[in-house]
Amino acid sequence: MNLIINTDGGARGNPGPAGIGVVIADETGKIISLHNSYIGEATNNVAEYKALILALEKALILEAEELLINMDSELIVRQMQGRYKIKEPGLQILAREAFILIKKFKNVAFRHIFREKNKEADKLVNSAIDGHMKAT
């Protein structure tokens, strides 16, 4: 099975209260699952990586073989493509976790998309953060 996945992560305050969102669709673009979570205090980049890791874990459960991962974080996309170095130690740890998961698929491609094309994942991020803020 091939999947198209949009991920997003965000923090209010950077660092601040953070959430992640994942939209998983089949090859035709039909959404098959949505996931979001509040991840506590984090930076935007940490949230973006945690969203990617959640997406990869969910794709493994779905027994996907090939993934196209769309992200609006140019930094993370370029780091995953090996085009940018990962200098921050905290991000190196998260990237290592992502690379371990990526090896379990036949093929994983990354595409940088503009924020306007990632609205569904962004809504999930905000929903996770808003849900946490209301509960506290």
What is the pLDDT averaged over residues 92-109?
98
Q: β-pairing, 2-11 with 66-71?
A: parallel
Mean pLDDT for 42-65 is 98
pTM of full prediction above 0.75: yes
20-42: pLDDT as tens digits: 999 999 999 999 999 999 999 99
Instruction: Name the more confident of 14 and 104.
Output: 104
In the chain, DSSP finds a helix count (H) and a strand count (E) of 4, 5
Residues 118 and 23 sit within 8 Å (Cβ to Cβ): no
